[in-house]
Amino acid sequence: MPRSRLRAGDTLRTSAGSLRARSWRAALSALGIAIGIAAAVAVLGVSASSRAALLTELGAEGNLLTVGAGQDFTGAPAALPTAAAGMVGRIPPVQSVAAVGYVPGVTVRRTAAVPAIDSGGISVLATQTGLLSTLGGSVARGTFLNAATIHYPAVVLGAVAARTLGMARVPPGTQVYLAGQYFTVVGILRPVPLAPEIDEAALVGFPVANARLGLGGHATEIYLRTDPDQVQQVAEVLPFTANPAQPEGVQVSRPSQLLAARAQAGSALTGLFLALGAVAVLVGGVGVANIMVISVLERRTEIGLRRALGATRRQVGSQFLAESVMLSALGGVGGVALGAVATTAYALATGQAMVVPLPAIGGGVAVAISVGLLAGVYPALRAARLPPTEALRAG
Amino acid sequence: MTGRTVTGRTAAGRAAAGQAVTGQAVTGQAVTGQAVTGQAVTGPGGTSEPVLELVGVTKTYPGSPPVSALASADLRISAGERVAVLGPSGSGKSTLLHILGTLDRPTSGVIRVTGRDISALSDAEVSAIRGHQLGFVFQQFFLLDHLDAVGNVALGLLYRGGGARQRRLAAIGALEQVGLGHRLGHRPPELSGGERQRVAIARAVAGQASVVLADEPTGNLDSATGAGIIALLTEIASEGTAVVVVTHDAGIAAAMDRRVEMRDGRILSDTRPCAPATVAAGTPQRS
């Protein structure tokens, strides 16, 4: 009993030949899927590249630790012992220390004429001169507090606080109304990504805060830099060093870790673009199904001929299914390439390293192939079920 | 009164009788044809196993009323026979060819290809029989434009599972056999009509088919080119492959050993050149 046999390689070669014979049509019908896959790959690539860049940046900031006393029963930052900053500074791997003290019940306004209720959420922090170098921050305008100005009513504004007060520059003599007195603004800071609380604060010196604002010299938060290799060890001893009486109330955190965790989480925008990409792939799949149905109608005589030459229904069907999958896979590969190009362009434009996640590449091609399979089922069935005599009559 | 009635009856009777006589004459012809078929069975058919055999095959297309495209056809085709199936359009010759080629299944009756009854076989098994035993040549050639001559001929072997190299070699051999050894790499649009049909014939014979079925193979060709194609088909038959040509051209039929005439879904006559009297009697009636 003879049997019809068609090798897998021959099926692929036959399908590839048919696609090549209509290469323009193939390219255009694969384009829809390519665009969808490209959008998804580009979005994943761009966000992965930005994340990688951010993580590299944060890696350099990984040795910053903060020590806080938590919050008191009013929700305001609780105080650490006066000696805490000095004690922390004596831990051997600690490279630099700076303490800030939250001044409760104080508002900052442009003038006394502004109602006290419009405080703008700006907090007043007493600070040491080493704060800026410990945080790795810098001033945008003017200067930071120095050994002289910490004794006088001088204030440095965080980036957000300055914006709230409507200050972009600090001409000499600029003043703000702080706790019933006028303080001279000597500088404005650039944003400090690792300590966003500084951005929203008005910074004054500890001596002037103690003298004029009634702060008892207590720190509420200590920032410190350690030897990068001993961050963990330092973090373990910090509670006992900062507040030996109540170590359990002390909160030690590593801001770079928080930011990194936030960066790892996908943003809502990424999700949106992925959804758009999925819709484009779906529409592309419908396009491929459409073109395959048209192809089956146009190639009725070819189908009849193949049946006459010994092709079984299954072999005719698998040829059309293979064409559909190839068409979609082509779109998938093209889309991944297009997405990678877009990611590279973005990386070059922003000076970041180019990262295209492997799951995006594999996933893109896999999704395209599955779409091709789905899109090809109906046309393949139609081709397979076409009676040979009817197919040959069409010619 | 009575006489008139009788006369009227007689007239009606005469008319009816006349019709009946004409009908009888036709039936007579059919009987002659059947007798010849009988001869064929006892003649060469008796000594060699038929490669293709129809027994009481009918084909009815559903509808109201149902269309009978083929009514109780019997046909035995032996190896190396050259058969012309003649008839006007609508006579059922295309249906006969499709059923002979297993492209269509009969409503009733038995088809045997090289002795094997195909009615019990699955579609895949029948497809395999087409791929291994039967070759087709069509009026419209049905070549794939994106393949060259070798590719088109190799297509005839694709579904038999051989290697690509083997198929190409066999295709080149078949093309040389039909006189197209110099046109191997040309695509159908670069070939003349006669050359295209030669490629199609090469495709049909490349796999050593037992029977080549040709449907109006010269229908799209001028008469000189057509004569060349018919000569090629008869040449193929001399190598042992049975050739069945469906045509409405009596000239082509004359080149074949045997003619099967069809009308209204019935085989009207089945004549062979070895019975010259039948041919002589049949020819003027047809024209």
Q: Is B98 left (phi over 0), alpha (psi -120 to 50) or beta?
A: alpha
Check residue B44 and give its pLDDT: 42
**A301/B140 touch (CB, cutoff 8 Å), yes or no:** yes
Percent of chain A with pLDDT over 90: 45
Percentage of residues in chain A with pLDDT exceeding 70? 95
Looking at the domain assignment, is residue A105 inside a domain?
yes
Spatial distance between the Cα atoms of B44 and A14, rounded to a whole number of angstroms: 43
Secondary structure class of B83 (helix, strand, coil): strand
The mean pLDDT value for B175-196 works out to: 95
Statement to judge: residues A69 and A184 lie in one domain: yes
Q: How confident is the model at residue A394 (pLDDT cuts 50, 70, 90)?
A: low
Section A379-395 average pLDDT: 88
pLDDT of residue B284: 43
Mean pLDDT for chain B overall: 81
CA distance B208 to chain A (A): 13
Mean pLDDT of B270-286: 52
Q: What is the pLDDT of residues B70-128, one digit of tens each?
A: 998 999 999 999 999 998 888 888 899 999 999 999 999 999 999 999 988 999 999 99
pLDDT of B13: 42
> How close does chain A come to B270, measured CA to CA in Å?
25
Side-chain half-sphere CA neighbours of A306 within 13 A: 28
**pLDDT attached to residue B228:** 93
pLDDT mean over B239-259:
90
Q: Assess B14–A contact: CB distance below 8 Å, yes or no.
A: no
pLDDT band at A341 (very low <50, low <70, confident <90, very high): very high
The domain boundary residue, chosen from A219, A253, A287 = A253
User: Does A298 have pLDDT greater than 50?
Assistant: yes
**CA of B49 to nearest chain A CA: how many angstroms apart?**
18
User: Residue B250 has what pLDDT?
Assistant: 85
Q: Does position A274 have pLDDT exceeding 90, yes or no?
A: no
Position B20 confidence tier, pLDDT thresholds 50, 70, 90: very low
- Range A166-178 average pLDDT: 86
What is the pLDDT averaged over residues B162-166? 91
Looking at the structure, tell me whether residues A107 and A172 fall in a common domain.
yes
Regarding whether A228 and A176 lie in a shared domain, the answer is yes
Higher pLDDT, B161 or A335: A335
On whether both A233 and A277 belong to a single domain, the answer is no
Q: For residue B15, is pLDDT > 60?
A: no
Contacts of A392 in chain B (CB under 8 A): 103, 138, 142
Query: Is residue A4 one of the residues assigned to a domain?
Result: no
Rounded-to-integer distance, Cα A292 and Cα B51, Å: 39
User: Is A299 a domain residue?
Assistant: yes
Do A113 and A248 have their domain in common?
A: yes
Of A232, A253, A274, which residue is a domain's last? A253
Comparing A20-34, A253-267, B51-65, B194-208, which segment has the lowest mean pLDDT? A253-267
pLDDT surpassing 50 at residue B285: no
On whether residue A21 sits in a domain, the answer given is yes
Interval B238-262 mean pLDDT: 90
Yes or no, beta carbons of A304 and B132 under 8 Å apart: no
Closest Cβ–Cβ partner in B98, B129, B140 for A2 = B129
In B, which residues are within 8 Å of A389 by CB distance? Answer: 98, 103-104
CB count within 10 Å of CB A395 equals 14
Binned at pLDDT 50, 70 and 90, residue B276 comes out as: very low
A187 and A213, same structural domain? yes
Q: pLDDT (tens digit, 9 = 90+) per residue, A21-39?
A: 999 999 999 999 999 999 9
**Core vs surface per residue B159-180: b (16+ CB within 10 A) or e:** bbbbeeeebbebbbebbebbeb
| Block residue for tokens 């039909």 | B178
Task: Tell me how many domains chain A contains.
Answer: 2
Q: Is residue A3 assigned to a domain? A: no
Q: What is the mean pLDDT of residues A79-91?
A: 85
Half-sphere exposure of A143 (CA within 13 A, CB side): 9
Q: Are the C-beta atoms of residues B267 and B99 closer than 8 Å to each other?
A: no
- pLDDT per position as a tens digit, B25-55: 333 343 333 333 333 333 343 446 899 999 9
Q: Of A194, A222, A253, which one is at a domain's C-terminal end? A: A253
Judge if A120 and A51 occupy the same domain.
no
Kindly report the average pLDDT of chain A as a whole number: 88
Q: Is the pLDDT of residue B6 over 60?
A: no
Predicted confidence band at A167 (pLDDT cuts at 50, 70, 90)? Answer: confident
Q: Identify the band that residue B18 occupies on the pLDDT scale cut at 50, 70 and 90.
A: very low
Determine the structural domain holding residue B7 and report its residue range. Answer: 2-286
Question: What was the pLDDT predicted at A174?
Answer: 87
Same domain, A219 and A354: no
Q: Which residues in chain A touch residue B142, judged by CB atoms under 8 angstroms apart?
A: 301-302, 304-305, 392, 395
Tell me the pLDDT band of A264, cut-offs 50, 70 and 90.
Answer: low
Q: Are residues A120 and A235 in the same domain?
A: yes
Is residue A134 one of the residues assigned to a domain? yes
- Confidence check: pLDDT of B281 > 50: no
ipTM rounded to 2 decimals: 0.79
Q: How many domains does chain B have?
A: 1
Identify whether residues A95 and A191 lie together within a single domain.
yes
Tell me which residue range forms the domain holding A238.
Answer: 63-253
pLDDT level of residue B280 (50, 70, 90 thresholds): very low
- Is A140 part of a structural domain of the chain? yes
* Position B278 confidence tier, pLDDT thresholds 50, 70, 90: very low
Q: Please indicate, yes or no, whether residues A43 and A74 belong to a single structural domain of this protein.
A: no
pLDDT average, residue stretch B175-201:
95
Specify the pTM: 0.70
- Cβ–Cβ below 8 Å for A20 and B146: yes
Provide the CATH number for the domain around residue B84: 3.40.50.300
- H or E element, residue A67: strand A64-68
Strand B134-137 with A181-189, pairing = unpaired
Distance CA A378, CA A289 (A): 8
B101: contact with A, CB 8 A cutoff: yes
Contact between A204 and A178 under an 8 Å Cβ cutoff? The reply is yes
Name the most confidently modeled range: A60-69, B87-96, B152-161: B152-161
One domain for residues A91 and A175? yes
* A277 in any annotated domain: yes
What pLDDT is attached to residue B273? 66
